Amino acid sequence: MANRIRNERLEIKLTEEEKALFDEKKRLAKCRNMSLFIRKCVLYQIDLEPFRDLQGLLSSATNNINQIAKRVNSTGVIYKDDINAMKEQVEHFSKELWQIHSLLLNRTSGGD
């Protein structure tokens, strides 16, 4: 053990509720041990820019859906172009979400 790279030790004290929450999050993160979980939480930095972009896409799509709903409610007519535009936005949103999902899976599947 003298040749270990990680030779600094930390100790934390938690309430029972905090410990239960800690263990649940560790389980959800699929970490084998406390040390790996803490390193993942502290050392890995997540770029939140894709989430901001995703929020913008979602906001744009919901605004368009609301505008179409208002028009349909007032005229009783929905246009094929409106439906196609919504489909395109949802597909684009889905692709972006899948890319973020894949990125996160690749980053979290690394072991100890």
User: For residue 100, is pLDDT > 60?
Assistant: yes
pLDDT digits (tens, 9 = 90+) for 11-55: 999 999 999 999 999 998 888 899 999 988 888 777 778 788 888
**Lowest model confidence (mean pLDDT) among 8-22, 54-68, 92-106:** 92-106
pLDDT, position 15: 96
Amino acid letter, 20: A
User: For residue 109, is pLDDT > 80?
Assistant: no
